[in-house]
Amino acid sequence: MFYQIRKWWRGRAVQQLNRDAVEIIRRDSLAYTDAHLTTIANLLRTYLAEFESSPQTASRRREVAMRLKSRHREARRRHDQAVLTAATLAIIYRRGLEAGESAAPACDAVQVFLDRYADNEDVTVGG
């Protein structure tokens, strides 16, 4: 019984990731200029590069997750929309990677956003 509830809960969390990634990108694409979206994409690329740059031990993943949450919290306090959006998308991408194939739409949406708006085309996330 508990296993079924847990499986259902994880499925709902993945659905929420997929929905949130698309909605955040859609909302910001309608609300902001390309220059602002480029700033968001470059910040996001920096956050994801930090996540992928070092050995992926459990303690390192926790450390990076806590740093992202801290940036997210500070951006909310300062009303810094670019950092807030970049941190949110980085958290969604990181959780999507951990969730696996079922969260591929969220990771794909973030990757498409990066490919469209980021300045440096020579660096790719996850590749």
For residue 4, pLDDT over 80 is answered with: no
> What pLDDT shows up at residue 123?
43
**How far apart, in whole angstroms, are the C-alpha atoms of residue 42 and residue 48?**
10
Dump pLDDT digits (tens) for 70-80.
Answer: 999 999 999 99
Does the predicted model carry a pTM greater than 0.85? no
**How far apart, in whole angstroms, are the C-alpha atoms of residue 50 and residue 80?**
20
- pLDDT over 90, % of the chain: 48
Contact at 8 Å (CB) between 103 and 20? no
Dump pLDDT digits (tens) for 11-39.
Answer: 788 889 999 999 999 999 999 999 999 99
CB-based burial of residue 1 (10 Å sphere; 0-12 exposed, 13-18 middle, 19+ buried)? exposed
Instruction: Tell whether the torsion through CA atoms of 85, 108, 48 and 123 is positive or negative.
Output: negative
Give the other-Cβ count within 10 Å of 57's Cβ. Answer: 9
Residue spans of alpha helices (H) in the chain: 2-31, 34-53, 58-78, 81-99, 104-117
Average the pLDDT over 58-73 and give the result: 84
Residue 126's pLDDT band, with cuts at 50, 70 and 90, is very low
